[in-house]
Amino acid sequence: MLIEIENLKKQYSSGDLVTKVLHGISFNIDFGEFVSIMGPSGSGKSTLMHILGLLDRSTSGVYKLEGRDVSSLNDDQLASFRNDKIGFVFQAFNLLPKTTVLENVILPLTYSDNKRNMKERASKVLESVGLGHRLNYYTNQISGGEKQRVAIARALVNSPSVIFADEPTGNLDSKSGAQVMEILQKLNDAGNTIILVTHETATAEHAKRIIKIKDGIIISDEPVANRRFIENGILVK
């Protein structure tokens, strides 16, 4: 099992004020799944993604990633584990300015234990998302859709166990958004585990399973009956 969480809770404290965000979340995600975590603004879905992505810690509960209880890791161990095991794709792209496409994708490799052939590895993964011709372009010289594909390449370059995509089409036009979702579906078809966080039903239905969250609790966890599928940038079903 890739991800196991049990009775996960999260609250934030500021003086005497306590804000409870997650109220006992439990589910498992296996290797190779494509899961959407869906909910309205304020539902707790982003907080949950940050905990699953090792960007934040839960207040209580159990979270195991590849069988390892992450609560036992210190901050340095968490950072190393996150770099090796997890890839992120964010709505705002989060690319480094004044650097090339290739340099953005190489960056995670500089923090890994395996620094061999970094340029070649980064170039290969950029080619796989259709950006082999953009290696030496600066990030301010490419379109929004291309920026998101750079972000996907950066997420892939360390061969992570799971890729988290947080509203990956939120800043894109419909055509570019379709291209990004097609790439994510193809990555899943190739065996990559994808966890998609979104508030939009149409986006969530590109996955194979939807976990719906409202007010910090799971209200449903079901397979997608009529999955949306994109081929050559076109919705075919």
CATH number for the domain including 79? 3.40.50.300
Residue whose C-alpha is closest to residue 119's, from 104, 139, 138: 104
Q: Is residue 118 part of a domain?
A: no
Q: What is the pLDDT of residues 21-74, one digit of tens each?
A: 999 999 999 999 999 999 998 899 999 999 999 999 999 999 999 999 998 889
9 and 23 in contact (C-beta within 8 Å)? yes
Read off the pLDDT band of 15 (50, 70, 90).
confident
Neighbours of 27 (CB within 10 A): 16
Q: Domain range holding 29?
A: 3-92+149-235
CA distance readout (Å), 70 to 34, 49, 62, 74: 22, 14, 8, 9
184 and 196 in contact (C-beta within 8 Å)? yes
Q: Is residue 111 part of a domain?
A: no
Q: Is residue 184 part of a domain?
A: yes
> What's the confidence (pLDDT) of residue 223?
96
Q: What is the pLDDT of residues 168-211, one digit of tens each?
A: 998 888 888 998 999 999 999 999 999 999 999 989 999 999 99
* Domains held by the chain: number: 1
Q: Is residue 39 part of a domain?
A: yes
Q: Is residue 112 part of a domain?
A: no
Half-sphere exposure of 176 (CA within 13 A, CB side): 16
CA distance readout (Å), 166 to 68, 88, 93: 24, 8, 10
Q: What is the pLDDT of residues 138-166, one digit of tens each?
A: 999 999 999 999 999 999 999 999 999 99
Using the predicted structure, report yes or no on whether residue 237 has a pLDDT greater than 70. no
Please give the Cα distance from 106 to 139 (Å, whole number): 14
Is pTM beyond 0.75? Reply is yes
Average pLDDT of the residues of the chain:
93
Using the predicted structure, report yes or no on whether residue 112 has a pLDDT greater than 70. yes
Q: Is residue 108 part of a domain?
A: no
